Amino acid sequence: MSRPPRTRPTLEEVAAKAGVGRGTASRVINGGEKVSERARLAVEEAIAELGYVPNAAARALVTRRTDTIALVIAESEERVFGEPFFAGIVRGIGSALAAADRQLVLLLAQASERRGALDDYLTRQHVDGVLLLSLHDDDQLPERIRAHGVPVVVGGRREGVSSDFVDVDNLQGARLAVQHLAGLGRRHIATIAGPADMVAGHSRFEGYVAALTAADLPIDDRLVARGDFTQQSGAEAMRALLASGAEVDGVFCANDLMAVGALQVLRDAGRQVPDDVAIVGFDDAPIGLSTVPPLTTVHQSPEQMGREMVAMLLEATGAPGVPQPGLMLPTHLVVRGSA
């Protein structure tokens, strides 16, 4: 528990070596306004010679900022590293943050046990703000963190919360998809829905219901199957749909991966897509381009979502305590071969 000996040069030593005061050395390091050329050179040389690197803790202590932002993904590793959705959103966040000169750190919120540690980390001024990505909506994490004055922006809407979030308009997207199927003359439109405890799951399902109602089509329980967003679960759901005995001439899948699974099952069952059964997915994932036929799908842009989250968070850091109005990102339909 005893403190390891210091080994790294300090600003004071740099200043001494350069023959200037501490203040001047500090000025050179931080943007260096109002420093004579001579002094700047001397300091820079001293820094190089000593291999000086500023101590972030000392700096953070006085500035009260760290210039780093945490992205918390509250999912199992398996899901995080499985969903291509995350790749996009992380890329969007990463590039937006880089442009704003902030460092991004990713935290995976593995299950309950580590929760205390996570709270601590986020709350102890390690980071200036938190982006939270959780597909489930049962979590008080954002509130707990905000209570300590740390701004939080959530990706994905949560029940009963109308600020500080960015989400894709899942409901509208699902409606688009189902409208399209109905517009094609399909009258027996099934859905392979996602888990009900995820926003993307239930709001896409709501969109399905809303669009059917709007098109005066009945809602048939036998036409509703559920998956967990994996390809395999999509295949199983499709098999269940076929086995239900109900007539099916269109399927709206809550994501592309499940649509791919469904496509395979239909092919194996000898049903023609789109002639016998039309299929629409959701996500506009790359894989939808390489299926046969290529997948008609609802386009969303995780990258844009990431960028918007960052913009909102930076806004919030500027005006602490002021809730930022939530943002719903529109989607559009990409019509390809499957419907």
Partner DNA sequence: GTGGGAAGTGGGAACGCTCCCAAAACACCA
Partner DNA sequence: TGGTGTTTTGGGAGCGTTCCCACTTCCCAC
- Interacting residues toward its own copies by CB under 8 A: 3-4, 6-8, 51, 53-58, 60-66, 68, 70, 77-78, 80-84, 86-88, 90-91, 94-95, 98, 101, 103-108, 110, 113-114, 117-118, 120-121, 123-126, 147-149, 232, 290, 320
Q: Report what 86 binds from DNA, its own copies, none; CB cut-off 5-8 Å by kind.
A: its own copies
User: Does residue number 36 form part of the binding site for DNA (CB under 7 A)?
Assistant: yes
Measured CA to CA, the distance from residue 212 to residue 216 in angstroms comes to 6
Name which of 55 and 272 has its Cβ closer to DNA: 55
- Residue from 155, 164, 168 nearest 315 by CA: 164
Q: Report what 111 binds from DNA, its own copies, none; CB cut-off 5-8 Å by kind.
A: none
- Which residues fall within 8 angstroms of residue 204, CB to CB, at 6 or more apart? 170, 171, 173, 174, 193, 194, 254, 282
User: Does residue number 140 form part of the binding site for DNA (CB under 7 A)?
Assistant: no
| Amino acid identity, position 82 | G
Nearest approach in angstroms of CB 206 to its own copies is 28
Which token pair is 212? 């059917």
Q: Report what 29 binds from DNA, its own copies, none; CB cut-off 5-8 Å by kind.
A: DNA
Q: Report what 39 binds from its own copies, DNA, none; CB cut-off 5-8 Å by kind.
A: DNA
What angle, 0 to 180 degrees and rounded to 10, lies between the N-to-C axes of helices 199-214 and 170-183? 40
Measured CA to CA, the distance from residue 207 to residue 203 in angstroms comes to 6
Q: What is the pairing mode between strands 332-334 and 296-299?
A: antiparallel
**Contact indicator for 279, 262 with CB cutoff of 8 Å:** yes
Phi then psi for residue 262, to 5 deg, are -65, -40
Phi then psi for residue 168, to 5 deg, are -85, 145
Nearest approach in angstroms of CB 121 to its own copies is 5
Q: Report what 91 binds from its own copies, DNA, none; CB cut-off 5-8 Å by kind.
A: its own copies
**Contact indicator for 202, 224 with CB cutoff of 8 Å:** no
User: Does residue number 39 form part of the binding site for DNA (CB under 7 A)?
Assistant: yes
Size of the site for DNA (CB under 7 A): 31
Measured CA to CA, the distance from residue 237 to residue 220 in angstroms comes to 15
- Residue from 141, 172, 169 nearest 157 by CA: 169
Measured CA to CA, the distance from residue 82 to residue 306 in angstroms comes to 18
Name which of 18 and 166 has its Cβ closer to DNA: 18
Site string for DNA, 41-80 (x = CB under 7 A): -----------x-xx--xx-xxx-----------------
Q: Report what 23 binds from its own copies, DNA, none; CB cut-off 5-8 Å by kind.
A: DNA
Nearest approach in angstroms of CB 53 to its own copies is 5
Q: Report what 26 binds from its own copies, DNA, none; CB cut-off 5-8 Å by kind.
A: DNA
DSSP element (H, E) containing 60: helix 56-63
Write out the residues near DNA by the rule CB under 7 A: 1-3, 6, 8, 10-12, 19-24, 26-27, 29-30, 34-36, 38-39, 52, 54-55, 58-59, 61-63
